[in-house]
Chains A and B, each alone.
Chain A
Amino acid sequence: MLVTKYVITSSESNILPSDIAMKIYGSKYEVLVKETCFGVVINGEEEVINALIKEIRALDPAGIFIKDRGFPPGDPRRCRGRRGGGARPGFYMIESESKMLPMISRALASKGDIPAIPEKKKPLPIKRLEEIVKNGLS
């Protein structure tokens, strides 16, 4: 079965989308590659793609992220070139999560103790609010 995956690089990664594309061109795998601003889209047989992903991840284990995609690359139903411009709906999700990738990359690469985080302030419970109101009015 043909599958499509996004390979997305963290903005702090030393690996560029073009490096990944070149790695795929130079590999023995028969896959379709589309280079984008945030990474590459690859399409091919499931076993081939899974083997290729392992090799791509090895370029920067903490800085390369993989995501499934439903539509094949360049599909006229999603390609903005055919739809008259504008990003496709799924791009906004990738754009938003991409801002977080450097943090996640550093977290994946880090070793040692996990820092303690103070608990976030919770909103005032209703019962406590009622007590305050009653005390204030009496």
Chain B
Amino acid sequence: MAKVIVYPPTSMILSDLVERMGHKALVVPEAVRKLVTANEIDSPPLNVTPEEPKKGLRYAAVDVPSGVRGRMALIGPIIEEAEAAIIVEDPGWLTGCAGCSRTNELVRLLIRTKGVPVLDLSYPTNDAEARVFVQKIRAFLEDLL
């Protein structure tokens, strides 16, 4: 079982396909859960403490907008943990944790420079493309076993 990071990191389809094929999908909601459900909430309501921007500084400089550093505090540790990656470009809709274009550029860059196996795809627009999409993911994940 490999740890596979998916991009967009909030994608339902990608995380489901990864888990369905017996691997562990690394996604943002898990990182969010650790913060918001911690027993000791230091900084309600979301428990973002001064430690989070410090974690973000490992991936982005201090003059980078705080939104990027804050997001990287969640996504950066996930990237470090990843053993493989599936990147789907140009979804055309990204919101919430994945709604910052500069963060997304940095995330893709860090994944590519990490040196793990990466599968690049586009979201399907018809049935034939969907079959190829699923088949490529299946073949990629089977090779990781």
Contacts and interface: CB of A to CB of B under 8 A. Distances in A.
A2 B126 CA distance: 38
Secondary structure type dominating chain B contacts: helix
Contacts of B12: 6, 8, 65, 67, 93-94, 97
Nearest to B33: A70
Interface stretch (A13-21, A22-30, A99-107): A99-107
B33 A4 contact: yes
Interface in B1-46: 8, 10-13, 15-17, 19-20, 25, 27-33, 35-37, 45-46
Contact of A68 (B27, B35, B127): B27
Nearest to A69: B29
B30 A70 contact: yes
- Give the size category of A's interface with B: 20 to 34
Nearest to A120: B122
- Give the size category of B's interface with A: 35 or more
7 closest A-B pairs by CB: A70-B32, A89-B96, A103-B130, A68-B29, A67-B12, A107-B130, A107-B134
Interface of B: 8, 10-13, 15-17, 19-20, 25, 27-33, 35-37, 45-46, 91-99, 123-124, 126-135
7 contacts: A68-B29, A70-B29, A77-B46, A90-B96, A97-B12, A103-B130, A117-B129
Given A67-B29, A100-B123, A110-B131, 20 more contacts: A3-B33, A6-B12, A8-B12, A65-B12, A66-B15, A70-B28, A71-B32, A71-B33, A71-B36, A71-B37, A90-B29, A90-B95, A92-B95, A92-B96, A93-B96, A101-B13, A106-B130, A107-B124, A107-B130, A107-B135
